[in-house]
Structure 1
Amino acid sequence: MNCLIVDDEPQARKLLTTYVSSIPGCRIAGACRNAMEAYEALQTGKTDLLFLDIKMPVISGTDFLRSLKNPPLVIFTTAYDKYAMEGYELNVVDYLLKPVAMPRLLQAVDKAWERFKEKAFTVPPPPPDYTFVKQDNKLVKIMFHDIRFVEGMQNYIKIHLTDSVMIVSSTMKAFEKVLPPSQFIRVHRSYIAAVSYITAIRNSQVEMPGMELPIGISYKDDLFKSLGNE
């Protein structure tokens, strides 16, 4: 596990760094003096386990943890046991009192390993197979498999479905970000095609049932790469 240590006390930081680095499977990703340094470290590197002091200047450890959208596993370290309940409310792995004793640290790291393995083997939920678009002051659900192609019209787009056409206030660039890249390909500045509906490519045209779409010169290479014909 990549471990990040955050403590404003130099001696506590040094001791914890020494202890953690001696534990098999633990690698020190960094040692920070405050929450701002920790935030930067979390943005620039991979951290699996955060050793976080609670009582720090400017931003406390608990406030810092609350500010993180997707925090790593956390073990609180502090000289004050009055923060224990707050730590458990934040679903931290463990709570260590200073000065940290090696046997107690090993227990905490063992708990972290259990959670780390659980996270590693947790299957992420499948991505959604639909999106919602605004139509007549309401949101309408569109299944991706019903979209044949999308046509750009300045600040509007036409979504050509299997049985209808919807005009939506959006740009091609914005709507392209919503579509799963494994199912859709930009073939022209004004067209996005559903791969499953493409039947052939001929003479700079994408053939679909009852329809042909032009292939833009700047999109041709990416199209062939996506279809496995580089």
Structure 2
Amino acid sequence: MKFLIVDDEPQARKLLQTYMQELSQFQLVKLCANALEAYEALHVSQVDLLFLDVKMPIVSGTDFLRSLKSPPLVILTTAYPQYALEGFELNVVDYLLKPIALPRLLQALDKAQHWHQAVGPLPPAPAINHIFIKVDSKRVKILLSAIQLVEGLQNYVKIHLTDKVLVAGYSMKAMEELLPADQFLRVHRSFIVPTDSIIAVNGNLIETPYHNVPIGVSYREQVNQLTKIP
């Protein structure tokens, strides 16, 4: 079973990750610090199980769960027992109180596996076609098909679109994680390109209709794998 851990507390995420990495039948997809990160992960990857904290900033775990049309199996995690009834009204698998004890976690996982076997594996998640980027005080929707190039400049990025350029306070690593790996490739410490825009590899350059960009030494193997000739 593939799972997400969604919790705004780093120590809580780490503890649960430590427990779960000893269980070979479970595969971690991503550690998420908030509902927005979880939303993006659910639209990029197949997820069978969601460990979801209840009290998080901006969007609570229960509000996030209500927003999902077809949620995966959910185990709620929280330090507050008063949310248990609300959780079970949302048809969650189980409700774990922090700090989570390993025997209690194993009990919840046993329930989750039984539910998973009863309903079968979830269908693959639909391909994501957009992301939201924070620009100044707004969250701006960007169609992935409109992205021509992502350019890194110190502590921010320039996102080159078909009709404009957006500047946002993201690192290149953050952008690399946000963009679907099957649609975008980082080819240099300062450049990410859409894979379907690559026309040719010419020595140390990637040729695209928008702009030619250099290939970084540490990214050469990734480019070679994508463009290898059978």
TM-score with structure 1 setting the length: 0.52
For 1:54, the equivalent position in structure 2 comes to: none
User: Structure 2: how far apart are the matches of 1:215 and 1:178?
Assistant: 21
Q: What letter matches 2:184 in structure 1? A: F
Greater relative contact order (Cα 8 A, min sep 6): structure 1 or 2?
A: 2
Percent of pairs with identical residues: 37
For 1:228, the equivalent position in structure 2 comes to: 228
| DSSP-derived class of the 1:211 partner | coil
| DSSP-derived class of the 2:212 partner | strand
| DSSP-derived class of the 1:176 partner | helix
Q: What letter matches 2:52 in structure 1? A: K
For 2:168, the equivalent position in structure 1 comes to: 168
Q: What letter matches 1:139 in structure 2? A: R
**Residues 41 and 213 of structure 1: is their aligned pair in 2 closer, same or farther, counting only changes over 3 Å?**
closer
For 2:22, the equivalent position in structure 1 comes to: 44
For 2:117, the equivalent position in structure 1 comes to: 117
User: Structure 1: how far apart are the matches of 2:168 and 2:182?
Assistant: 23
**8 Å Cα contact 1:47-1:72 kept in structure 2:** no
Aligned residue pair count:
149
Unaligned runs of 5+ in 1: 2-37, 49-67, 75-84, 94-110
> 1:124: Cα distance to partner?
3.9
User: Structure 1: how far apart are the matches of 2:206 and 2:197?
Assistant: 10
| DSSP-derived class of the 1:219 partner | helix
For 2:62, the equivalent position in structure 1 comes to: none
> 1:88: Cα distance to partner?
7.2
User: Structure 2: how far apart are the matches of 1:142 and 1:73?
Assistant: 29
> 1:46: Cα distance to partner?
4.6
For 1:187, the equivalent position in structure 2 comes to: 187
User: Structure 1: how far apart are the matches of 2:112 and 2:152?
Assistant: 50
For 2:100, the equivalent position in structure 1 comes to: none
| DSSP-derived class of the 1:226 partner | helix
TM-score with structure 2 setting the length: 0.52
User: Structure 2: how far apart are the matches of 1:200 and 1:210?
Assistant: 13
**8 Å Cα contact 1:146-1:162 kept in structure 2:** yes
Q: Deviations over 1:86-108 (max 9, x none)?
A: 99766569xxxxxxxxxxxxxxx
Question: What is the CA RMSD across the aligned residues, in angstroms?
Answer: 3.9
Q: What letter matches 1:69 in structure 2? A: L
| DSSP-derived class of the 1:69 partner | strand
Bigger Rg, structure 1 or 2: 1
User: Structure 2: how far apart are the matches of 1:140 and 1:73?
Assistant: 29
Q: Is residue 157 from structure 1 mapped to residue 157 from structure 2 by the alignment?
A: yes
User: Structure 2: how far apart are the matches of 1:226 and 1:86?
Assistant: 47
Unaligned runs of 5+ in 2: 2-15, 27-50, 54-71, 76-84, 95-110
| DSSP-derived class of the 1:44 partner | coil
